[in-house]
């Protein structure tokens, strides 16, 4: 029988090559991933409940794990990106005001007014609008003012309070927004904010249609009201010794007396309604019930605007139909 050539038989332990990392072929290692059984070097090792896992298996495992949700649908530990975005948008709008003050006249919340050649606002009670005047406001079809006014603030020319207006509002949004966003999640949170902003403008339209109003206070009032509803639903103390929350409430009351109490009231009522629609939705079909409640609030706001516009059209015949 012929002898077997050494190269054709099994290699001895001395000649068998050492295993290498499947991600770094130049690195020798004897550690295996406990999930896929491939060799991994120290740079690829991620500690697991048993042994180590490679980066690919760690990512796959994270995708298999469902995130922990609050009882209202928010994801615990998620960063408050929507709050950051809203603060950035308010700051950007304020910079636009500083660069071009006419932005306030073009986008503030105003139900109805007539503008003269000098740019001043007037209320004309006649039956035919003079050619030198033109009408502006929600009643003329400028519905966007219901939302854009909530991103504008008093200018520095208004005095010390002009600067304090946006600074304190953004501080308030930072305090309450992060908490509410974590409990609700990005989509529900944004819906409550925007509906509360519009709700504040609708209240201004109903109660003081000829007055101009700016500020995010109505939206923040709505978030605060929703926060209290959510806290009571969770059987938590809404304040709980939180000094920042107490400061926020004081500011909201003070600003309501200085700016537009109608906008604050509207935001408060809308926040209570949207907060209740979310907080008291049953666990089964929770998302659908919450969405239905939010849509219902939006439809009520639209109906109120339509009814008020019809009422103003009867009082001011020169309004466009």
Instruction: Determine how many CB atoms are found less than 10 A away from the CB of residue 162.
Output: 14
Q: Three-state DSSP class for 307?
A: helix
**CA pair distance 227, 161, nearest whole angstrom:** 27
The string over 127-155, giving b where at least 16 C-beta atoms fall within 10 Å of a residue's C-beta and e elsewhere, is eebeeeeebbbbbbebbebbebbbbbbbb
What is the side-by-side order of every strand in the sheet holding 121-122? 121-122, 113-115, 134-136
Is residue 3 pLDDT above 50, yes or no?
A: no
Ranked by mean pLDDT, the top range of 30-34, 225-229, 296-300 is: 296-300
Mean pLDDT of 276-304: 93
3-state helix, strand, coil in the chain (%, to 5): 55, 5, 35
Give the pLDDT score at 91: 96
φ, ψ for residue 320, nearest 5 deg? -65, 140
**Residue whose pair of structure tokens reads 């099994």 in the numeric block:** 10
**What is the Cα 107 distance to its own chain's centre?**
21
- Of the residues 39, 153, 165, 264, only one is catalytic, namely 264
Nearest to 293 by CA among 314, 272, 318: 272
Q: Which two tokens stand for residue 295?
A: 């849509």
Q: Are 113 and 137 in contact, with CB atoms under 8 Å apart?
A: yes
Give the pLDDT score at 312.
92
The single-letter DSSP state of residue 49 is S
DSSP for 28-75 reads B---BBTTT--B--GGG-EE-SSSEE-HHHHHHHHHHSPPPB-TTS-B
78: closest CA among 163, 188, 164, 228?
A: 188
pLDDT for 9 beyond 80: no
Catalytic, 236? Answer: no
- Interval 256-271: pLDDT, tens: 667 788 999 999 999 9
C-alpha span between 163 and 159 (Å, rounded):
7
Asked if the model's pLDDT at residue 18 lies above 50, the reply is yes
196, 217, 231, 255: the active-site residue: 217
Q: How many CB atoms lie within 10 A of CB 12?
A: 8
Strands 134-136, 212-213: pairing kind: unpaired
Is 201 one of the annotated active-site residues of the chain? no
Scan for tokens 């530990």, then name that residue: 77
Walk me through the domains of the chain, giving residue ranges and CATH numbers: 12-65 (no CATH), 81-315 (1.20.1540.10)
Residue 209 is predicted with a pLDDT of: 92
Does residue 28 or residue 150 have the better pLDDT?
A: 150
Q: Quick count: other Cβ atoms within 10 Å of Cβ 2? A: 4
Q: Is the pLDDT of residue 243 over 80?
A: no
Tokens 């298996």: give the residue: 57
* 211/70 Cα distance (integer angstroms): 41
Percent of the chain with pLDDT strictly greater than 90: 44
- pLDDT greater than 80 at residue 221: yes
């Amino acid at each position: 029988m012929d002898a077997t050539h050494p190269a054709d038989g099994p290699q001895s332990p001395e000649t068998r090559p050492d295993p290498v990392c499947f991600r770094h072929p130049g690195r020798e290692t004897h550690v295996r991933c406990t999930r896929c059984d491939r060799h991994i070097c120290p740079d690829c090792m991620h500690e697991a409940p048993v042994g180590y896992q490679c980066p690919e298996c760690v990512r796959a495992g994270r995708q298999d794990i469902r995130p922990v949700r609050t009882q209202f649908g928010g994801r615990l530990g998620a960063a408050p990106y929507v709050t950051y975005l809203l603060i950035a948008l308010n700051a950007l709008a304020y910079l636009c005001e500083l660069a071009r003050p006419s932005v306030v006249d073009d986008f503030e919340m105003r139900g109805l007014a007539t503008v003269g050649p000098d740019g001043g606002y007037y209320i004309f009670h006649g039956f035919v609008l003079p050619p030198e005047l033109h009408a502006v406001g929600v009643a003329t079809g400028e519905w966007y003012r219901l939302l854009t006014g909530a991103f504008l603030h008093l200018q520095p020319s208004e005095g010390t309070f002009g600067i304090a207006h946006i600074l304190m509002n953004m501080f308030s949004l930072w305090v309450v927004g992060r908490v509410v966003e974590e409990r609700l999640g990005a989509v529900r949170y944004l819906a409550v904010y925007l509906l509360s902003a519009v709700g504040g403008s609708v209240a201004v339209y109903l109660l003081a249609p000829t007055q101009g109003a700016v500020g995010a206070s109505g939206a923040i009032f709505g978030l605060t009201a929703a926060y209290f509803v959510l806290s009571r639903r969770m059987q938590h103390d809404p304040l709980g010794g939180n000094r920042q929350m107490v400061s926020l409430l004081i500011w909201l009351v003070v600003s309501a007396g200085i700016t537009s109490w109608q906008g604050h009231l509207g935001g408060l009522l809308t926040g209570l309604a949207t907060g209740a629609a979310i907080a008291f939705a049953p666990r089964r079909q929770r998302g659908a019930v919450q969405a239905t409640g939010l849509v219902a609030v939006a439809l009520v706001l639209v109906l109120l605007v339509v009814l008020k516009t019809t009422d103003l059209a009867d009082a001011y015949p020169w309004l466009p139909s």
